Amino acid sequence: MISKKKKIAGVDEVGRGSLFGPVFAGAVVLNSSAEAQLLKAGLKDSKLLTARKRASLIPLIKRASSTWGLGQASSIEIDSLGIRKATEKAMLRALQRLSKPIDLVLVDGILPIRIWEGPQQTLVHGESQSLSIAAASVLAKEARDALIKRLAKTFPGYELEKNVGYGTAVHRKALLKQGITTLHRRTFLSKIFCE
């Protein structure tokens, strides 16, 4: 049982399976009154929320949280370190941006953050079990999606504004036709070019 008095940061990542751009992570600390406020506002697993609902929750999460942070790891880091290590770096960077000390990190999934030196606990389906993880996921998803949509103007033709870097049929066709950009994850593309 986790004590309610502990300062607990929920951590989650987004963009792990994308072909383009960085992986993002969010970290959020909520007290019980903030949890009640965000639950009432409709916060839940980000995959169950519409884009409009996620966007409306951002200012509420930022205001209600004791502290929050975002971190990312670039496509170059993903290619050089591998996706797991790069994701851990993004999570560590998010945690390092928290303005207050924490007692425990709750990590969505089964894999711990190996480079985090403090106490941590993994939670399978963490977004549905912890509002701080759900809040971290919403912050990270909205921040990453906004970045990829801005980058779509620099890298037209891949429909990044729609697929936010994931391997849709249009994106895969564009890769074969236009080639790889500087922000594509080269280590993720071998199957596309072998098909």
Q: 92 in a domain, yes or no? A: yes
**Could you tell me the residue range of the domain that residue 29 belongs to?**
8-151
Structural domain tally of the chain?
A: 1
Rg, C-alpha atoms of the chain:
17
Residue-wise pLDDT tens digits, 109-125: 999 999 999 999 999 99
Q: Which of 104, 111, 148, 108 is nearest to 129 (CA)?
A: 108
Q: 175 in a domain, yes or no? A: no
Q: 108 in a domain, yes or no? A: yes
- Report pTM: 0.94
Residue-wise pLDDT tens digits, 158-172: 999 999 999 999 999
Residue-wise pLDDT tens digits, 63-84: 999 999 999 999 999 999 999 9
Q: 18 in a domain, yes or no? A: yes
Q: 182 in a domain, yes or no? A: no
The CB density around residue 169, as the number of other CB atoms within 10 Å, is 9
Q: 97 in a domain, yes or no? A: yes
Q: 167 in a domain, yes or no? A: no
Split at pLDDT 50, 70, 90, the class of 192 is confident
Q: What is the CATH number of the domain that holds 130?
A: 3.30.420.10
Q: 147 in a domain, yes or no? A: yes
